[in-house]
Amino acid sequence: MILEIFNLDKHLPIRRKEIKALIGIVCRERDLVLKNCSIIFCDDQTLRDMHETYLQDPAFTDVMTFNLGTDDIEGEIYISIDRVKENAELYAVSLKEEICRNIIHGLLHLKGYTDKTAVDRKPMKKLEDQLLKQVVSAI
């Protein structure tokens, strides 16, 4: 298992060991095998540019994934800290919880879950919420 975490600001309320614990919980709960995963924290503009380049959508987004594998978790998760901070305020949750939600969301995308339609979004959101409860109570 290779897990790399890039640009984790020391002022954020989550540490590398907590991210590793979070990923361990999600993998155990969903019977996932993590082969190689990179989590890259970036700013709004960087992720917006990527969103436009790769998905032809100029909108801001909080998380994007690039799946590099097939069955196992193998890929990259990009998270906009600017967007995560704004969403934490908007939804009245802690910044740590919102970061955890985005990491979980990214992992689910890497496993093949999608949220392109309302029909797809509902089961993904339900699973994300379940996993988030387990993670927040454990880390």
Q: What is the pLDDT of residues 14-40, one digit of tens each?
A: 999 999 999 999 999 998 899 999 999
Does 70 have pLDDT greater than 80?
no
**Residues 110, 16, 51: CA angle, nearest 5 degrees:** 40
Share the mean pLDDT of the chain: 93
Q: Tokens 């193998």 sit at which residue?
A: 74
Three-state SS string over 62-88 comes to: CEEEEECCCCCEEEEEEEEHHHHHHHH
Check residue 58 and give its pLDDT.
93
Q: What is the pLDDT of residues 95-133, one digit of tens each?
A: 999 999 999 999 999 998 999 899 999 999 999 999 999
Instruction: Provide the whole-model pTM.
Output: 0.94
- Domains of the chain in sequence order: 2-138 (3.40.390.30)
Average the pLDDT over each of 8-12, 49-53, 73-77 and give the range with the smallest value: 8-12
Does 136 have pLDDT greater than 90?
no
Task: Report CA-CA distances (Å) from 111 to 4, 8, 32.
Answer: 18, 23, 8
